Structure 1
Amino acid sequence: MTDPGLPPFMQNSGGAPPPMSEGSFGQSMGAFGAMLKLQQDISERFPKSKVPWNETRKFLKSISIEGIRSTSLYRFHMDFFREIGLGNMQLISYAPMHYIFAVPNNPVCNFYPALNNQKVCVATTDALHRFFREELELECSVEETECIKNGDPVCKFKVDLQPISAYQIMLDEYDKMILSGVRPPVENDELMERVKALTIYKLLEKGKLSEIGSAYMQFASNMKVEEKVFDPPWKLKEELSSIAETHSTFGGAFGEMAKKVQTNQSAAPTSPEPVVSEETKRLQEEAKKTDSFAELLAKMKKNE
């Protein structure tokens, strides 16, 4: 199998938020008002967009741009960002745990008509970081690598996932069985797909546990996490669309749709957090501060 490798990501930093003081007073106030509304929309929408691990898992296990774009999570992500005013974002480059998103005609750039020769899309950078970290529970770094206001044709954003965080969500019990050398109770086609994904993510090498895979399995043995199952935030929208398609009259569809919305609002469950032990929380915090598995394992052994 050919190693997909990593794309040639740029390394320059997006820097601090652009100053509002440049340009006319009217332009500065207009930018401030637009940014305030955008931040308000983000604050109102984000708590309602928690995604269950089983949906994030499908996104992480997709091993091509086409596969990622076909997931419900990706479609929700793109619609969500467009609806809150962050433009028509799209995935344009992919490698395992590394994603580049582009926003042509980025509306955020219009907040700063007087600014040029700098990157200004701090709001989009922050929103991407919040989406991956808070809604998907994936530790990551996000950087704007190109910006229309800096003379580039589109705005581009690089998202790099923290490996331990990604593995924790991506790997289910069947994957862990494979890494442990035990065949899970699945058909051959599914088994091969799982092995392929584990190989691309460098947990397996030539059908055997890799050094990274071995290190993670040692780490995972100390991670006691109870995964919670709940409906994804796009379920209601999909159900309403299905109702509309199956009714020939507006009246019939409206009645059933209203009933569905009322039922959903009356239930209104809060998306549950996975239950974790104090030891797991400590390990997760250590993982955020650690650049390699070897360093993390050394810390774990030292604290034993």
Structure 2
Amino acid sequence: MDNAPIGIFDSGLGGLTVARAVIDQLPDEDIVYLGDTAHAPYGPRPIAEVRQLTLWGLDRLVEAGAKALVIACNTATAAALSDARERYWVGQHIPVIEVVTPAARAAVVATHNHKIGVIGTQATIQSEAYVNALAAVPGLRVFQQACPLFVEYVEAGQTAGPELEGIAREYLAPLKEEGVDTLILGCTHYPLLTGVIGRVMGDNVRLVTSSATTANVTYNELVDRDLLHAPCRGAGDEPQHQFLTTDASSRFPILARRFLGPEVQSVSEVPSLPLEGGAQ
């Protein structure tokens, strides 16, 4: 048994969808969540910069005592996964869990016509992380579409409305024309937009998110490595969930409670990583 927390990293709010699934599937576990809101969104940033920010954020979670690391951000996964696994798993035997492979596997199971759509940030789409993850499946066709404004809407707390639906229709039209029957929401912010995305794509298209499948992988990693929290928790020994952000002026505390729930008791600020040239 290991009573240290699970560390979850994201560029902002999106990783809360993964945190919700982890809390639901592993109710005895403590978590420490870091949202790098000072630098969100990651999608438009250069890959090298996203890698630098991601490794910095994971370092902070390791310093907080995390026994396992979940990169709950597709852009960060695409930019830094191999470096993160070398640094933390090979170097420190801390498991590193990502969100791309679990969602890709779920999409393969879900599709019937072998046409899978992928939406994500510009960086995730350009990395072709999902194309590569699905490449070994014979007969599968993958169609990608960047949806850069979706993250900005979620971070602003706007998850519905005619303006957002109009943008969604424009983004998703090429995927509808291709006849995809399964759509991977390749950004952990996007599950917060399943209402509008599902409305635009229609009832015959299966929406696949990485949240539940990533939580499954997290559970399996903890079991396989004897890292589960001790199960005996009585009154006064409830799980402790810590939430950190790099921008105290953001709306993270309010939106975190709205999107995740009452587990967000308080949010603390940690200093953000200064980028070269002062880019924020």
Higher strand share: 2
Q: TM-score, normalised by structure 1?
A: 0.27
